[in-house]
Amino acid sequence: MHQIFSLDKFILNPVMNRFGLQVLRKVLFKLAYNLVTYRYSNDDPDVKDFKAKGYHVIHDFLSEEEFRDVEREYYQALEEVNSKPKIDHLGHYQLFEVLKDRNINVHHKVDINDDKYPRVFKCLLYHNRLQEFIKRALGCSYQPFFKQVTYKAKFERTVQINPGDQSKYVLKQSSNAQFHSDAVYPVVKAYFLISDVTKDNGAFRYVPSSNLVSLKQIVRMYRESNRKDLDDVKKGVRKELDAQRYSDNETERYGSIKHFVYPKNTLFFVDTSGMHARGYFLPNKTREIVYIDCRHNPFVEMRNRLLSKVGS
């Protein structure tokens, strides 16, 4: 029972999935989510837009001066790690450090005394609008929000390396370049663009409104939850299971694909419970972003609110 309300991706019970348990779970999460965000989306047109479409874009997010500060800090940090790039198994440079230490995902807590990237903290991560948006979009009633939700933030520079044919798009190297959904519960991801992003350097792709509980999405989820390899995980034949991946053609059955082509200093939020994929890269093109990933269990939020009412 506990699993139904947890942030685990899958329910590994083939019989119950046949009866639609995973779909029921999706519906329950959505109801709980709508309940905890109801007031916020009425008050805030941006959050309302986010919930309806699964994304929201803010242009020219920082002032020119603030942007220059963040940009400077970003490239300083890049220089620091550039001398020792690590190439991951997908063939991407994963150059960047997370807030304090290399490759640390910050969960639950961000050290406000961190002085390594003060501009990013000051201008971006503690930006009022950003914090407020995430808090409202997740339905999180506590400040500061990152103490209550699973929260990660990192600089990310992606370079597509293709020593072979220079003329073709390289798509297959990362499984995130194929469409998928991250979770059955709403996830708020924020992308802040440090460089201009076009269709040549990894413009994020999304199927608008695929975060909603529509008949098409329910059918998709039902099929996914009855995949054969789900049983294999249950039996211990396979250790882990990744989200189901879809080709562009398959994806178009669920709606048209939006490419997030925007200039630097754009911030956009996406709910990655909807169908999304990393964009295409031409060889040696780079993409520089600050990436934030926030998740908050709406059932935990409901419990917290109830407890605080009882306590007061």
Kindly report the three-state secondary structure assignment for every residue of the chain. Answer: CHHHHCCCCCCCCHHHHHCCHHHHHHHHHHHHHHHHHHHHHHHCHHHHHHHHHCEEEECCCCCHHHHHHHHHHHHHHHHHHHCCCCECCCCEECCCCECCCCCCCCCCCCCCCCCCCHHHHHHHHCCHHHHHHHHHHHCCCCCCHHHCCEEEEEEEEEEECCCCCCCCCECCCCHHHCEECCCCCCEEEEEEECCCECCCECCCEECCCCCCCCHHHHHHHHHHHCCHHHHHHHHCCCCCCCCCCECHHHHHCCCCCEECCECCCCEEEEECCCCEECCCECCCCEEEEEEEEEECCHHHHHHHHHHHHHHC
Nearer to Fe ion, 117 or 179 (CB): 179
| Tokens 């063939």 sit on residue | 91
Nearer to Fe ion, 182 or 271 (CB): 182
Nearer to Fe ion, 123 or 184 (CB): 184
Nearer to Fe ion, 156 or 182 (CB): 182
Question: Considering the complex, what minimum distance in angstroms separates the CB of residue 178 from Fe ion?
Answer: 10
Mark residues 192-231: x for contact with Fe ion by CB under 5 A, - for none.
----------------------------------------
Nearer to Fe ion, 51 or 278 (CB): 278
| Binding window for Fe ion (CB under 5 A); candidates: 5-13, 49-57, 61-69, 180-188 | 180-188
Contact between 138 and 190 (Cβ < 8 Å): no
Contact between 221 and 26 (Cβ < 8 Å): yes
| Tokens 């605080």 sit on residue | 308
Nearer to Fe ion, 69 or 224 (CB): 224
| Binding window for Fe ion (CB under 5 A); candidates: 44-52, 112-120, 178-186, 225-233 | 178-186
Question: Considering the complex, what minimum distance in angstroms separates the CB of residue 311 from Fe ion?
Answer: 37
| Binding window for Fe ion (CB under 5 A); candidates: 18-26, 55-63, 113-121, 174-182 | 174-182
| Binding window for Fe ion (CB under 5 A); candidates: 13-21, 62-70, 78-86, 176-184 | 176-184
Distance (Å, whole) CA 230 – CA 223: 11
Q: Which of 69, 71, 156, 182 binds Fe ion (CB under 5 A)?
A: 182
Mark residues 128-167: x for contact with Fe ion by CB under 5 A, - for none.
----------------------------------------
- Size of the residue set binding Fe ion (CB under 5 A): 1
Question: Considering the complex, what minimum distance in angstroms separates the CB of residue 199 from Fe ion?
Answer: 19
| Binding window for Fe ion (CB under 5 A); candidates: 15-23, 131-139, 177-185, 212-220 | 177-185
Nearer to Fe ion, 267 or 277 (CB): 277
Nearer to Fe ion, 182 or 301 (CB): 182
Contact between 136 and 37 (Cβ < 8 Å): yes
| Binding window for Fe ion (CB under 5 A); candidates: 1-9, 59-67, 109-117, 182-190 | 182-190
Nearest residue to Fe ion, by Cβ distance, number only: 182
Name the nearest CA neighbour of 138 among 50, 224, 220, 64. Answer: 50
Question: Considering the complex, what minimum distance in angstroms separates the CB of residue 214 from Fe ion?
Answer: 19
Binding site for Fe ion (CB under 5 A): 182
